[in-house]
């Protein structure tokens, strides 16, 4: 956890912005019997992180005996310091409501929630879960999802190839991404376990983005972060074109324009603005004309 926070700070200095979150894990990170001590460590790390750091926490599921202890220990002390809290094994909108009520009681009524969708039933309810106002993002829990099928999905369904080809896994990913986009939430793609294969990581991240509509992705090892960023970045040509189109639109007072023989209006302006936002958030170099659009107020 400390190494991840150190890497986040180093890359923030390199890119001039924080380009990934660090999620401190209580669910799988805590040893059995040591949950309270681990929650205390997570709280201290969150509170000691640099002001510009983006730190989140994954607590235990809402039906786990340690859930409320996690919330009291971590959210109760460090809630104002957290970017969000990840709730694993969310099955229903009621699970989200339970978590939100616990955060409210701990004094963090504005703290965003992110939910892990990890079972066939949760996928079925993904649209209802995404609709909850406290939900910021849905993530796909690939390995638990495959295991929940009792052997009906082969082990290859968890691999870098199989997770993009097995019909049940593909369907789950599309449902989650669609639910998020329907409700203005962020779909976050699952992990790739082949963390030493950078090319496989980059290919998986690019497919998740270009073919499945995911705009974020989880890493399980520091070596995965740069390939993910590279894959999620728009190309230089896409960024340059977006800046040109928006610059021309601004000069036209956001009326429809013709650009290289094609009509553009406010619908395509929104699309190209999203290209620039994605470029900015992943550390891409923006054209000079676009940098002022992302300058801090008064900067």
Binding-site annotation: residue ranges for substrate: 58, 118
Q: Which residues are annotated as a binding site for Mg(2+)?
A: 118, 144
Q: Which residues are annotated as a binding site?
A: 58, 118, 144
Look at strands 262-264 and 257-259 and give their pairing: antiparallel
Q: Are 180 and 140 in contact (CB under 8 A)?
A: no
Q: Are 137 and 85 in contact (CB under 8 A)?
A: no
């Amino acid at each position: 956890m400390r190494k991840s926070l150190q890497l986040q700070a180093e890359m923030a200095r390199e890119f001039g912005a924080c380009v990934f979150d660090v999620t401190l894990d209580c669910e799988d990170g805590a040893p059995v019997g040591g949950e309270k001590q681990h929650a205390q460590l997570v709280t201290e790390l969150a509170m000691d992180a640099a002001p510009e750091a983006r730190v989140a926490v994954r607590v235990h599921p809402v039906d786990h005996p340690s859930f409320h202890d996690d919330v009291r220990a971590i959210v109760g002390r460090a809630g104002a310091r957290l970017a969000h809290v990840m709730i694993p094994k969310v099955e229903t909108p009621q699970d989200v409501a339970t978590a939100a009520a616990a955060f409210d009681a701990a004094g963090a009524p504005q703290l965003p929630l992110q939910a892990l969708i990890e079972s066939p039933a949760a996928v079925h309810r993904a649209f209802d879960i995404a609709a909850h106002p406290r939900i910021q993002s849905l993530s796909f829990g690939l390995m638990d999802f495959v295991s929940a099928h009792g052997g009906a999905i082969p082990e290859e369904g968890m691999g870098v190839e199989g997770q993009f080809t097995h019909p049940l896994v593909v369907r789950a990913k599309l449902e989650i991404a669609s639910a998020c986009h329907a409700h203005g939430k962020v779909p976050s793609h699952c992990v790739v376990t082949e963390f030493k294969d950078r090319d496989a990581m980059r290919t998986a991240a690019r497919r998740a983005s270009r073919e499945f509509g995911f705009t974020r992705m989880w890493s399980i090892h520091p070596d995965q972060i740069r390939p993910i960023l590279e894959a999620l970045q728009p190309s230089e040509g896409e960024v340059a074109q977006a800046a040109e189109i928006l610059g021309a639109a601004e000069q036209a007072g956001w009326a429809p324009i013709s650009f290289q023989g094609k009509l553009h209006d406010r619908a395509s302006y929104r699309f190209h603005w999203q290209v620039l936002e994605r470029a900015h958030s992943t550390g891409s170099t923006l054209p000079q004309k676009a940098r002022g659009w992302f300058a801090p107020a008064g900067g």
